[in-house]
Amino acid sequence: MNADLRKINDLDRLIHEPARLMIVTILSAVESADFLYLQHETGLTRGNLSAHLSKLEEAGYVKIEKTYKGKLPLTVCKLTATGQKALNGYRRQLQQFMAATTG
């Protein structure tokens, strides 16, 4: 059992953080999402969402484009191929852990 167990310690902690797991999960289901949509879906505060998006952007998991919709600023977020791969790997690791262990 301990080999399966120890793998949990190698989980991608960037994605393991619940707020960021929400964000990448939402982004994996859509082509792109703007900041307000993400805020609405996640229930995160503006500051929290912004901080988590920055970390995901730094890691290359999310691409953020600041643009305009008419005169209003619009922040468009997109999961990158790297981010999608990281999310897939994370989910796989978690599933393996859950299957290999019981409560």
Given the rule CB under 8 A, which residues bind a second copy?
Answer: 1-2, 5-6, 8-9, 11, 13, 16, 18-19, 21-22, 25-26, 28-29, 40-43, 84, 87-88, 91, 94-95, 98, 101-103
Which of 70/103 has CB closer to a second copy? 103
Q: How far is the CB of 65 from a second copy (least distance, A)?
A: 23
Q: How far is the CB of 70 from a second copy (least distance, A)?
A: 27
CA max distance for the chain: 58
Question: Residue 45, Cβ neighbours under 10 Å: how many?
Answer: 10
Main-chain dihedrals φ then ψ at residue 33, nearest 5 degrees:
-145, 140
Q: How far is the CB of 74 from a second copy (least distance, A)?
A: 21
Distance CA 69, CA 27 (A): 20
Three-class SS state of 73: strand
